[in-house]
Amino acid sequence: METIEQIVAMPRIGDQAPEFKAITTQGEINFPADYKGKWVILFSHPADFTPVCTSEFMTFAKMEQEFAAHNCQLVGLSVDGLYSHIAWLRTIKEKIEYRGMKNVEVKFPLIEDITMNVAKKYGMIQPGESSTKAVRAVFFIDPKGIIRAIIYYPLSLGRNFDELMRALVAMQTADKHSIATPADWRPGDDVIVPPAGSCGVAKERMDNVEAGVKCYDWFFCTKELPVENV
């Protein structure tokens, strides 16, 4: 008899974050309702007691307060069980010293997902990589519970944490100032002014360039945004 495999559509940018309840190393959570009003980085990792994941969790834990300063909470996930999570996090704190990091305590929740229910809802299981391990997915979810950005990494590639922070700050800056950010933008760099919506506005923009605004052409204008305003 032919087996029919259930296909679950991956959530997309602009979608409401799929809801779930789960047991974590910090107790039960109701997601994303428990995080209303905050940004969340929901991320998956393939398995406990693996080296790449260990380096990532130590880095996430080291940067947790930095993310919190930007009103962002961290929530991790793997398809391992709760007791495996607890044992692994204890091992990290008690035994692992890496790149100057030691005695690292992971305080953000790590979801138990033995059934792979959450991983499947978020498209974290990629059969081309593994049918039993979640790839390194990262979902940026805004204070209204909307998915704003998604980054996927293969099992072998550790994440770039500077980029995760840069992406978070860039999206928050875009929301706050109604601008866009150019390639390789960092806080303090010039930002992009929204394109002109009509021929009249385009001509006026080129004829009357505001102070602090630089127009390369009618469709491409930037302006200064001091780092203290980000």
- Residue 212 Cα distances to 123, 185, 209, 215, 225, angstroms: 43, 17, 9, 10, 9
SS3 223: strand
Question: Count of residues for the chain?
Answer: 230
Active-site hit among 53, 199, 215, 221? 53
Q: Is residue 205 part of an annotated ligand binding site?
A: no
SS3 9: coil
Nearby residues of 125 by Cβ (< 8 Å), 6 or more positions away: 116, 119, 131, 133, 134, 135
SS3 21: strand
Maximum distance among all Cα pairs of the chain, rounded to whole angstroms: 72
Instruction: Respond yes or no: is residue 199 known to be catalytic.
Output: no
Q: In whole angstroms, give the CA distance from residue 87 to residue 72.
A: 26
Q: In whole angstroms, give the CA distance from residue 80 to residue 84.
A: 6
| Tokens of residue 165, six digits | 């922070």
Q: Quick one: angle between helices 82-95 and 51-69, nearest 10? A: 80
SS3 13: coil
Q: Give binding residues as ranges.
A: 136
Q: Give binding residues for substrate as ranges.
A: 136
Catalytic residues: 53
